[in-house]
């Protein structure tokens, strides 16, 4: 089967989130299963052109390279060549986003039309939402089936209806194909309405987005297409995230050498100026400091709740790595200056992220909603016990100690829980029970989060779509 992955970010060339990791990992797994997969993305200004070469028949509009046995195609356009970021800069969306991403959808279809031998065009998130409309209206002869994956329904690509002429779609078609939602242009609604199949990145998230609370206004449309909706859990790159071979951590370790994990903790405590003490419970947290990630209760009222936690649980140390809302960054940084058991790094540092996962005893992930989540899977692979809210992919990957102690791989709590009570309960249940913590670590490290199973599910869906 021949599959085109149309996407706006993919490692190692451009990344803003988990989407960039998911597409190459899935593509690599599908290639191992014998399928032909090409990743097609915009050529941003920060991508080094010396690493790529033009496709002759495209007169330097489309460039190509191979990375990790995957062919990447890049569309060179003035809509993207000036960009230092992907979608916005300093929190402000690029003014030409509507033109840039709709034009990219057109060029993807134009490329597919040159051969018409793709079986599947797999698009991701709102940025490619107009592609199925253009396929139906401008390339009806294309036989490829379209599948859209929703990575986060909270981002929809909403534009003022007065910009409709930019898209080259008349008003009648726009309404008919779901491009207009609540008197606004909505790219994601269009993609959901017109793609042959829809997927999300976890089974629980597929169920959640049927509800108004989680659907960000798209629940009615999704429910009408529920028979075309599938939740397929993301995997992780088990080669990149492997505690036995990871070059970014101080001491590699396995299930049989968990004592070396403790050495990583001592090294990280020293690096971050925390008390060097193996008896301390080190709690790590990595992620954007935004509303979705559930960090707000810790920073509101100038960090009143977090101050109480830091003062009450003196045997806990906290490491927070992430950036986002400036006010929240400042609150956390100020708290770290006052409390010796808190270290805050307002940045994203991949190597440090690996060291935190390898060192922490517990990973705190209080997301309000989490379509899939990757850090809980990274954590378990490194013997770090996830302490996470009961939502989305977190439910699909963590066996809660309170519900099934014999098979537990972590701890789940309701997203509206009081965080002080959460830590109090976990201290009594887990932190004061070292044998139980050890059992959970070992059990978690044995779980297979590779892309093999996920790729099989996508393969079945591709076959289903092709046969229609």
Q: For residue 240, tell me if it sits in a domain.
A: no
Residues 272 and 290 in one domain: yes
Residue 394 scores a pLDDT above 90? yes
Cβ–Cβ under 8 Å, residues 385 and 404: no
Residues 92 and 223 in one domain: yes
Residues 171 and 189 in one domain: yes
Rounded to whole angstroms, the Cα distance separating 85 from 362 reads 33
Residues 288 and 375 in one domain: yes
How many CA atoms lie less than 13 Å away from 466 in the CB half-sphere? Answer: 15
The two structure tokens encoding residue 412: 């789940």
Residues 173 and 306 in one domain: no
Q: What residue numbers bound the domain in which 324 lies? A: 255-445
Give the three-state DSSP class for 317: strand
Look at residue 51 in the predicted model and tell me its pLDDT.
Answer: 85
Residues 95 and 115 in one domain: yes
Residues 157 and 173 in one domain: yes
> Which residues face 258 on adjacent strands?
none
Look at residue 75 in the predicted model and tell me its pLDDT.
Answer: 97
Cβ–Cβ under 8 Å, residues 357 and 264: no
The two structure tokens encoding residue 301: 């009222």
Q: State pLDDT tens for residues 96-134.
A: 999 999 999 999 999 999 989 999 999 999 999 999 999
Q: Where are the alpha helices (DSSP H) in 200-246?
A: 203-208, 212-215, 219-224
Residues 14 and 141 in one domain: yes
Which residue shows structure tokens 């797999």?
A: 122
Q: For residue 247, tell me if it sits in a domain.
A: no
Residues 432 and 457 in one domain: no
Residues 271 and 219 in one domain: no
Residues 390 and 315 in one domain: yes
Look at residue 16 in the predicted model and tell me its pLDDT.
Answer: 86
For residue 53, what are the contacts with CB-CB under 8 A and spacing of at least 6? 63, 64, 65
Q: For residue 422, tell me if it sits in a domain.
A: yes
Q: How many CB atoms lie within 10 A of CB 309?
A: 21
The two structure tokens encoding residue 179: 């491009």
Overall number of domains in the chain:
2
Per-residue pLDDT, averaged over 407-436, amounts to 95
Task: Output phi, psi for 71, to 5 deg.
Answer: -85, 130
Residue 251 scores a pLDDT above 80? yes
The pTM of the full predicted model, rounded to 2 decimals, is 0.91
Longest dimension (CA), the chain: 67
Residues 396 and 282 in one domain: yes
Q: State pLDDT tens for residues 353-389.
A: 999 999 999 999 999 999 999 999 999 999 999 999 9
> Which residues face 325 on adjacent strands?
none
Q: For residue 249, tell me if it sits in a domain.
A: no
Q: For residue 188, tell me if it sits in a domain.
A: yes
- Indicate which CATH number applies to the domain containing 408: 3.40.50.2000
Look at residue 89 in the predicted model and tell me its pLDDT.
Answer: 87
The two structure tokens encoding residue 184: 């606004």
Q: For residue 344, tell me if it sits in a domain.
A: yes
């Amino acid at each position: 089967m021949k599959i085109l992955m149309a996407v706006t970010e993919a490692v190692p060339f451009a990344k803003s989130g988990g989407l960039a990791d998911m597409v190459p990992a899935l593509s690599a797994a599908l290639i191992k299963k014998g399928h032909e997969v090409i990743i097609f993305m915009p050529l941003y200004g920060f991508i080094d052109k010396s690493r790529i070469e033009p496709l002759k028949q495209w007169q330097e509009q489309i460039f190509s390279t191979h990375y990790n046995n995957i062919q990447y195609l890049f569309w060179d356009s003035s809509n993207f060549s000036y960009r230092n970021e992907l979608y916005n800069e300093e929190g402000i969306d690029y003014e030409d986003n509507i033109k840039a991403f709709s034009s990219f959808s057109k060029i993807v279809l134009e490329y597919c039309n040159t051969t018409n031998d793709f079986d599947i065009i797999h698009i991701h998130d709102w940025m490619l939402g107009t592609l199925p409309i253009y396929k139906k209206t401008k390339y009806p002869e294309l036989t490829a089936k379209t599948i859209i994956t929703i990575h986060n329904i909270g981002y929809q690509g909403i534009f003022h209806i007065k910009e409709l002429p930019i898209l080259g779609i008349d008003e009648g078609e726009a309404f008919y194909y779901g491009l207009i939602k609540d008197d606004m242009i909505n790219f994601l609604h269009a993609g959901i309405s017109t793609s042959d199949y829809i997927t999300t990145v976890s089974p629980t998230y597929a169920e959640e987005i049927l509800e108004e609370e989680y659907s960000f206004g798209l629940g009615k449309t999704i429910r009408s297409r529920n028979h075309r909706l599938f939740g397929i859990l993301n995997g992780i790159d088990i080669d990149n995230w492997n505690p036995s071979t990871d070059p970014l951590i101080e001491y590699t370790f396995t299930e049989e050498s968990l004592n070396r994990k403790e050495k990583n903790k001592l090294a990280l405590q020293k690096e971050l100026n925390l008390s060097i003490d193996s008896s301390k419970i080190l709690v790590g947290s990595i992620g954007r400091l935004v509303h979705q990630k559930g960090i707000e209760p810790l920073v509101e009222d100038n960090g009143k709740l977090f101050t109480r936690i830091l003062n009450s649980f003196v045997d806990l140390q906290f490491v927070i790595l992430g950036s986002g809302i400036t006010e929240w960054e400042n609150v956390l940084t100020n708290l770290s200056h006052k409390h010796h058991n808190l270290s805050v790094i307002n940045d994203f540092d991949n190597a440090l992220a690996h060291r935190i996962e390898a060192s922490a005893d517990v990973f705190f992930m209080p997301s309000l909603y989490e379509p899939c989540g990757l850090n809980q899977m990274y954590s378990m692979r490194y013997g770090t016990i996830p302490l996470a809210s009961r939502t989305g992919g977190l439910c699909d990957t963590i066996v809660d100690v309170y519900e099934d102690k014999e098979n537990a791989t972590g701890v789940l709590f309701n997203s509206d829980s009081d965080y002080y009570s959460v830590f109090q309960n976990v201290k009594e249940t887990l932190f004061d029970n070292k044998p139980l913590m050890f059992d959970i670590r070992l059990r978690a490290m044995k779980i297979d989060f590779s892309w093999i199973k996920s790729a099989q599910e996508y393969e079945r869906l591709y076959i289903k779509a092709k046969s229609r």
